[in-house]
């Protein structure tokens, strides 16, 4: 298996070997951007709808088959969640820097994680994300789930993520500034939990906040990371499955103001 060379310590996800097709964005115009989008987005000169559909097509080719997830990915303007200077690369299957040594996860990784929560069962209703970052994944989750809660530990990113979600109209997403390793007990239990940063082990507080039959997906490890899918099968038992190799930024405790 070959994996794409990491860009640095803040690279947020590898994809499997068979997924080396690149999307080329060229000869573009802004007509596909809905008038309700902020002026900044309209001026990007991106045919963003075409680029998004190409991104979804590539996700299909690389094994993502959950139509709800694909539709959700098709509906969120990823370019509106990254810096203007990176917007032309927003629909590549790449992790992109979002400042503070963090990255927005690559689309394939977002789609893989959300599919793992949904596949073979009823779509979970109430889902928690650890690591809001720029807010992109929370926006995709908003398109899939009834209730979305998200926690970020870096104050500046918490503010940016919240602003993006508000501006893009995802106002029902509930954001919290704090240490996501502790979960969000007030709103527990959750039918699903998505962790967007890699720890050496899954925090017990998160396992405890899973509803019965609820699923958690998280990257685990330091240099050698894998996605881990956990399902709560009884009040005291969790079933665990190890999925693909990935690379995420670290899950850290405490907050950064
Ligand atoms: N889902 C994000 C990905 C952001 S990268 C997006 O779509 O942009 C991972 C994020 O996890 C970073 O913003 C990092 O600050 C955050 N993070 C790391 N440890 C955390 C913790 N204990 N609690 C909350 N957020 C955490």
- The model carries a pTM of 0.85
Yes or no: say if 173 and 151 are a contact pair by the CB < 8 Å rule.
no
Active site residue 105: yes
* Residue 254 belongs to some domain of the structure: no
CA distance 244 to 113: 10
Domain count for the chain, please give it. Answer: 1
Residue range of the domain that includes 66: 5-246
* Residue 17 belongs to some domain of the structure: yes
Nearest CA among 236, 241, 71 for reference residue 140:
71
Pick the atom of ligand 1 nearest to 136's CA. 7
- The per-residue pLDDT for 20 is 29
Residue 225 bridge partners (DSSP): 246
**Ligand 1 site: residues with CB under 6 angstroms?**
12, 98, 102-105, 130-131, 133-134, 136-137, 151-154, 157, 179-181, 196-197, 249, 251-253
The sign of the torsion formed by the CA atoms of 228, 232, 238, 239 equals negative
* Residue 255 belongs to some domain of the structure: no
* Residue 252 belongs to some domain of the structure: no
113 CA from centroid of ligand 1 (Å): 15
Yes or no: say if 169 and 158 are a contact pair by the CB < 8 Å rule.
no
Mutate to test the pocket of ligand 1, among 131, 168, 198 (most ligand atoms within 8 A of CB): 131
Mutate to test the pocket of ligand 1, among 108, 144, 196, 253 (most ligand atoms within 8 A of CB): 196
CA dihedral 99, 224, 93, 131 (to 10 degrees): -40
**What is residue 159's three-state secondary structure?**
helix
The lowest-confidence range among 31-35, 206-210, 236-240 is: 31-35
* Residue 256 belongs to some domain of the structure: no
* Radius of gyration, alpha carbons of the chain: 17
* Residue 176 belongs to some domain of the structure: yes
pLDDT at 17 over 60: no
- Give nearest CA residue, ligand 1 atom 21: 180
Instruction: Find all residues with CB under 8 Å of 20, minimum gap 6, and list them.
Output: 2, 4
- What CATH number is given to the structural domain containing 178? 3.40.50.150
* Residue 253 belongs to some domain of the structure: no
46 — pLDDT class (breaks 50, 70, 90)? low
250 CA from centroid of ligand 1 (Å): 8
**Per-residue DSSP letters for 25-47?**
--S--STTS-TTS-HHHHTT---
pLDDT digits (tens, 9 = 90+) for 55-113: 999 999 999 999 999 999 999 999 999 999 999 999 999 999 999 999 999 999 999 99
For 68, phi and psi rounded to 5 degrees? -65, -40
């Amino acid at each position: 298996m070959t994996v794409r060379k990491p860009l640095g310590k803040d690279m947020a996800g590898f994809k499997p070997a068979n997924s080396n097709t690149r999307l080329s964005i060229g000869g573009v115009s802004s007509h596909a951007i809905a008038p309700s989008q902020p002026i900044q987005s309209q001026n990007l000169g991106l045919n963003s709808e075409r680029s998004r559909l190409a991104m979804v097509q590539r996700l299909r080719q690389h094994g993502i088959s959950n139509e709800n997830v694909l539709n959700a990915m098709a509906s969120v303007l990823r370019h509106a969640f990254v810096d203007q200077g990176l917007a032309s690369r927003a629909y590549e299957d790449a992790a992109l820097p979002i400042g503070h040594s963090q990255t927005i996860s690559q689309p394939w990784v977002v789609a893989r994680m959300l599919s793992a929560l949904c596949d073979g069962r009823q779509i979970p209703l109430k889902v928690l994300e650890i690591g809001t970052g720029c807010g992109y994944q929370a926006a995709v989750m908003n398109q899939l789930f009834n209730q979305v809660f998200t926690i970020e530990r870096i104050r500046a990113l918490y503010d940016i993520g919240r602003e993006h979600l508000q501006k893009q109209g995802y106002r029902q997403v509930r954001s919290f500034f704090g240490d996501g390793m502790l979960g969000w007990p007030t709103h527990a239990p959750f039918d699903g939990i998505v962790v967007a940063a890699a720890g050496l082990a899954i925090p017990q507080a998160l396992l405890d906040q899973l509803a019965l039959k609820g699923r958690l997906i998280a990257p685990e490890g330091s240099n050698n990371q894998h996605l881990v899918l956990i399902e709560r099968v009884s009040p005291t038992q969790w079933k665990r499955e190890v999925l693909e190799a990935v690379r995420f930024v670290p899950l850290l405790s405490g907050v950064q103001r």
